[in-house]
Amino acid sequence: MPAGRRGPAAQSARRPPPLLPLLLLCVLGAPRAGSGAHTAVISPQDPTLLIGSSLQATCSVHGDPPGATAEGLYWTLNGRRLPPELSRVLNTSTLALALANLNGSRQQSGDNLVCHARDGSILAGSCLYVGLPPEKPFNISCWSKNMKDLTCRWTPGAHGETFLHTNYSLKYKLRWYGQDNTCEEYHTVGPHSCHIPKDLALFTPYEIWVEATNRLGSARSDVLTLDILDVVTTDPPPDVHVSRVGGLEDQLSVRWVSPPALKDFLFQAKYQIRYRVEDSVDWKVVDDVSNQTSCRLAGLKPGTVYFVQVRCNPFGIYGSKKAGIWSEWSHPTAASTPRSERPGPGGGACEPRGGEPSSGPVRRELKQFLGWLKKHAYCSNLSFRLYDQWRAWMQKSHKTRNQVGRRDPSPSPLPTGPAR
């Protein structure tokens, strides 16, 4: 059984029909005198029903000449012909319909149940509203921008799907006195939100709730009690600048300005910084930047572009003890760390490029090895010239050892002949 207060009886829950100008006459179902045409009336007209319930409807034909018959009439629902076994002829001019276990309405303007003559022409129609009463809205959250307004958001009960148009109304009043007020600016930050732009009191709590109403009933959320000062947020910090720290290749300095709208009140503002490498989606967050307007980021990669954002939490305004609400992040600001000048990972020159190698299996293998090194190691400028210089040095040092100590036949540290 759906929760919430039930409205008028479901079977015929029909509000007084809205007014239409007189000129919109010739409503289907009104017989036209002397026209020779048959028309009909469907009963009930525009019923509202619970999902899963049944409907008994009739189509009564009348016309000129009299004696219109129900033989040959048939029903459609949303354009689809209903099986004949659902219908039966009650009398010569009335065709009945029995629908069971109704599904939720396909469109908010109502499902179109139509009675047709044998030739397919439309004799009458009625719109069915099949759905659920609203469930209790919940999860109301509110925030005030710079203590000037109040925006609230909520979650509709039953995930919002009632199959009927459901009206949500945000109400508020001062806790100990005052009348109920109704918020008027809806859908400001999503479908279930409302904005109160002005005339809000500070230092006194408000009671806020949401009422949901549709053709089948209404429901009311729990009441949220809050003080505007406990839910203050503000604009992102303006003028965020990111710069290098001298030549330090792993650091950047971030500076910003306190949000101007609350600058006279922000005695205890907290800030948060987040940054990421240019081509990454992963942000790193620096917390606990309390009440300062600058910070130094360290441990960064040299020669890398970073995007940086800052946000502010104006907690403690007028002595509020609550946590406060973070602002939006500032627009991203970018800066790059200086390139590293030391050799090693990320580049340092090894040697200038040398000449081309000569032929030979050792040198061919060495060429392949050097190619691999260039791709996978950090020393990008290895060359055959370097290798030849090393060979020359090895041969020289080998001769020297031979001259100095023939009795010390230490093997050469590296082979001098072709590799096996």
Tell me which residues touch another protein (CB under 8 A).
17-29, 45-46, 76, 78-80, 106-114, 121-122, 124-127, 165, 167
Q: How far is CA 56 from CA 15, 47, 68, 96, 334, in A?
A: 20, 11, 22, 7, 69
CB of 264 to another protein, least distance (A): 41
CB of 23 to another protein, least distance (A): 4
- 56 vs 400, which CB is nearer to another protein? 56
CB of 22 to another protein, least distance (A): 4
Answer yes or no: are the C-beta atoms of 223 and 206 closer than 8 Å.
Answer: no
CB of 120 to another protein, least distance (A): 8
Strand partners, 290: 270
Q: Are strands 55-63 and 94-99 parallel, antiparallel or unpaired?
A: antiparallel
Answer yes or no: are the C-beta atoms of 393 and 413 closer than 8 Å.
Answer: no
| Nearest-angstrom CA–CA distance, 143 and 390 | 72
CB of 292 to another protein, least distance (A): 46
CB of 105 to another protein, least distance (A): 9
Closest residue by Cα to residue 273 from 252, 291, 295: 295
Q: How far is CA 28 from CA 42, 76, 122, 124, 215, in A?
A: 10, 16, 9, 6, 24
| Nearest-angstrom CA–CA distance, 288 and 272 | 7
Instruction: Pull the structure tokens for residue 122.
Output: 């439309």
The single residue listed with the structure tokens 């030979």 is 360
